[in-house]
Amino acid sequence: MLTLLARLNEKNISRNTIADVARHAGVSKATVSRFLNHREKLLSPQIAARVDAAINELGYVPSPMAQALKWGRSRLIGLVVADITNPYSVAVLRGVEEALRKAGYLVMLFNLGNESERESAALRALSSYKVEGFVLNAMGHDTGALLEAASQGKPVVLIDRMHPGLDVDIVTLDNWHAVKESCQHLIDAGYRELLLVTEPVGTVSSRMERSQAFKKVMENSEIPGVCIEQTQNDFQTLVQNLREFKENACAAPAIICANAVITLQVVAAAESLGWRLGTDVGLVGIDDTPWAPYVGPGITALAQPTDEIGQLATKCLLQRLEGLDSPGRSFRLQGTLMVRGSTRGPGVSADSSCRGETGSRDVGSLKSETDKKEGDTDEHTEATY
């Protein structure tokens, strides 16, 4: 999906050409061109006024592509997002588009639909429109295509997900802080067995960081922790996994959802199981959404500073367009925990006759990701801006 996000009203969306303007004003196309290229000093005040009036009356807008071919500047920025149905992508897109609009740029959007093989096609498509730079919230699989774009002198800024071997600016959530904050809140609220539900981790850096942070927090707190990967369109498996987790829990259970897409699926699964959020099971979602306060008792969420992420990514890109030449920078912004009823505390005390293991463990058929990843560390780099 390729979309031009231009804030144009109906008057501006016109099929009129420079020839139409010239005819309307009673002048030549060359005269109109001089006026559009800010060379009106070559024209008499009367002719300049006629051209200006014709442009306004016809609602004529010069073609960005024609200007790009003539002057080498399109004022277009390519934005690639992994999944436009993810509320995070939409929120960041809003921040990027607003900041670029204020700087005089338009955004061209390509949605990957979580299909990593489309990354190269997205970059080629956007490059064909002569975009001047890229802001990418992509899958992180096709570094070669990004290197090709960078080699053409077009600056690249990454949002949320790193690409191995690519020395460019990246702006992302401080995932370690987000997971630690979520886990500690649940522990303080009285929950004693935690489950992290994430989309398939693969090589997606943000998912890797959240899974690794969860493992480290569980080890340090001596709280049993399990991590499962949830694929799309596999609702029944999710329901089964959640049921097994709660049935095998030896203490008050709680769930952390790695993003808003997972949160919505988990809420639906909990509803089908007849669970009361906050009482039967605690729930924290990473990514806040407009609907979170209104679901059940309200969903506690770790709100990402999406506007700030989008604006900072745009600022980095504009600095690169202005000639900044330095090694890639990493900016990790902290989120804010929005406490609601889904973490109000367990309704019953833990079963005193059940003694669970500490640290990471398997529960039934659930394979703990925290057991699978060896050699992980809790080290991470945090930059301030």
The pLDDT value given to residue 273: 96
pLDDT tens digits along 161-180: 888 778 899 999 999 999 99
Reading phi first (left if > 0) and then psi (alpha if -120 to 50, else beta), residue 126 is in alpha
Cβ count near 120 (within 10 Å): 16
How much is the pTM? 0.72
Mean of pLDDT values over 292-321:
95
Distance CA 154, CA 127 (A): 9
The pLDDT value given to residue 215: 94
Mean confidence (pLDDT) of the chain: 81
Instruction: Indicate the pLDDT class of residue 278, thresholds 50, 70 and 90.
Output: very high
Which tokens belong to 300? 């506690």
HEC string of 137-164 equals ECCCCCHHHHHHHHHCCCCEEEECCCCC
Distance CA 248, CA 302 (A): 27
Whose CA is closest to 253, among 243, 262, 267? Answer: 243
Check pLDDT > 80 for residue 324. yes
> Phi, psi (5° rounding) for residue 341?
-65, -20
Check pLDDT > 80 for residue 140. no
Domains, the chain, with CATH or none: 2-70 (1.10.260.40), 72-173+308-333 (3.40.50.2300), 175-306+335-372 (3.40.50.2300)
> Taking the CA atoms of the chain, what radius of gyration do you get in angstroms?
26
Three-state DSSP at 121 gives helix
Check pLDDT > 70 for residue 135. yes
Contacts of 241 (CB under 8 A, 6+ apart): 228, 230, 365, 366
The pLDDT value given to residue 75: 83
Distance CA 249, CA 351 (A): 9
The pLDDT value given to residue 150: 60
Mean of pLDDT values over 233-248:
93
Mean of pLDDT values over 1-19:
52
Whose CA is closest to 267, among 296, 224, 245, 247? Answer: 296
Q: Which residue has the higher pLDDT, 63 or 33?
A: 33
Helices (H), the chain: 18-25, 29-36, 45-58, 64-71, 87-102, 119-128, 143-151, 175-188, 205-221, 235-248, 260-273, 306-321, 369-372
Contacts of 134 (CB under 8 A, 6+ apart): 77, 78, 79, 80, 123, 126, 146, 149, 154, 155, 156, 157
Whose CA is closest to 284, among 266, 302, 297, 271? Answer: 302
Distance CA 224, CA 105 (A): 50
